[in-house]
Amino acid sequence: MAHPAPVAPTAPAITPISLKSLAPWAILVGLLALTLLYFVGAEQGATAALSGAGVHEWVHDARHLLGFPCH
């Protein structure tokens, strides 16, 4: 019985991603990054949106790591 010759696997075609389909995701990631930057850098300071010190305690080490003064 003859064995067929091995066939090399072909790579799937790569389709480019259009900027129009990428824009909503880029905006979402940008807004999330700005929100995170606000909570790490400014929340529980002079412009506090939330009362108490809970947010400050959760992001305290991140403030020092990123160079934000907090005390």
Answering whether pTM is above 0.85, one says no
Q: How deeply is 14 buried, as exposed, middle or buried, from its count of CB atoms within 10 A (0-12, 13-18, 19+)?
A: exposed
Q: What is the three-class DSSP state of 13?
A: coil
pLDDT tens sequence across 42-67: 766 666 666 767 777 777 778 788 78
Question: Are the CB atoms for 63 and 41 separated by under 8 Å?
Answer: yes
pLDDT of residue 47: 66
Give the C-alpha separation, 7 to 58, whole Å. 56
